[in-house]
Amino acid sequence: MKILQRYLAKQIFASTLLVFSALLVLFTFLDLIHELNDVGIGNYHLLYAVVYVLLNIPGHVYELFPIASLIGTLFALAQLGASSEITVMRVSGMSGRDLAAFLLKTGLVFVALTFVFGEFLAPLSDATAQRLRLKATKSVVAQEFRSGLWVKDEGSFINVREVLPDATLVGVRVFEFDDKHALKSISFAKRGSYRGEHVWKLESVVQTRFGGDSVSVLDMPDFEWKSVLTPDLLSVLLIFPEHMSILTLHRYINHLVENKQQATRYQIAFWTKIVYPFAVLVMMLISLPFAYHRRREGGIGAKIVAGIMIGLVFYLLNQLSARLGLINDWPPFLSAASPTILFLILAVAMLQWVERR
C-alpha cells in the first residue's frame, strides 16, 4: 500500500506542478499587461512593474491552490483510469475509501503549503508590492474618503489626510471627547512619525481646547501623542482583508470590536483564511469520481474541462458567499465555510454514486 501511495502522490504532485506552472504564467502575463497602463506615472518604470508583478505571485499561488490541486489530481487520476491502472488497484483489493484516504494524506501536503503561502508569504509579498508601487507612483497608502482616513481610538476620532508608505502621517487631526461625548479638544499636526510603544511624535501642532465658556489655542513645535494606532494597524490598509494573515486579522478585529466598529468583512476574511486550506482536500475528493474512466463516457479532455468548470464555480461561489454574507449580515463562519461545505457534500454524493454503479 505504501508503494501505491508514493506512486499516486508522485503522479499527483507532477500534474499539479504542471497545472500551477501554466496558471501562474497566465496570471503573471495578465498582471503585467494590466500594470503597463500605469508605467510612466511618477517613477513607476517597467522594472518596477515587473518586480510588482513578481511579488504578486505568492498571492496567486494561495488563491489557485484548490483549483490547481483539483485539475492536477483530476488529470493524474484520469490518466491512471484511462490506462486501467485504477482498475488494477481496485481488483487488487483497494477500495474507494482506501483511494480517498490516500488522496487525503497526499492533500495534507497541499494544505500545509496553502497555509504557509496564505499566512506568511502572500501577506508579506502583497504589502511589499503595494509599498513599492505607491512609492514609485508617489501615491498615498490610503484615502478612504475625500477628507482622508478616519479611525476611532477610544474617546477620540482621528482623521489622517495621507499615510505615506513608511507609515508617516500627513495632515493629522485628533478630535477628543469626554465621557459625556462633549468635544474637549481638536489637535492639528502637519506630520506624525511613530516612536514606538504606541507613541507618535506630532510636528507643528495647533491644539484648540474647549473648557466651559472658554476656548484656548496652543501652538507646539512637537507633541508626543499616545494612541492605539500603530504602523501594524496602518499596514492593514496596504492589502485587502482576504490577503492578510490570520494573526493580523485577529488583532484588527479586536481593535474594531473594542472601538464598537463594524468588523464583519474582516471576520469573514478571518474564517475564510482558516477554512480555505482545507478546500484543497475537498477539491481532491471531487476529482476522485473522474478516476473511474470509461472510454464510452468521453475522453480525458472532457473530464479536464469539467474539472476546470467545477474549480471556477467554487472560486466564484467563494467570492459570492463572502459578499452576500457581508450585505445580509450572515454569521461570518457560515459566509466563509458555505462553499467548502457544499462542495464536500457534492464530493461525498458523487463518490457514493460512482461506488454504486
Would you say 204 and 189 are in contact if contact means Cβ atoms under 8 Å apart? yes
Q: What is the pLDDT tens value at each position of the chain, 357 positions in all?
A: 778 888 999 999 999 999 999 999 999 999 999 999 989 888 899 999 999 999 999 999 999 999 999 999 988 988 887 787 887 887 777 777 888 899 999 999 999 999 999 999 998 898 888 878 877 876 555 444 566 788 888 788 888 888 776 778 889 999 999 888 889 999 999 999 999 888 999 999 999 999 877 899 999 999 999 887 788 777 666 567 888 889 888 988 887 888 777 889 899 999 999 999 999 999 999 988 877 655 545 567 777 788 788 888 998 999 899 999 999 989 999 999 999 999 999 999 988 887 776
> What contacts 168, CB < 8 A, 6 or more positions away?
191, 192, 193
Would you say 293 and 300 are in contact if contact means Cβ atoms under 8 Å apart? yes
CA distance 31 to 29: 5
Q: Residue with C-alpha cell 508522485?
A: 10
Sign of the four-CA dihedral 9, 15, 17, 23: negative
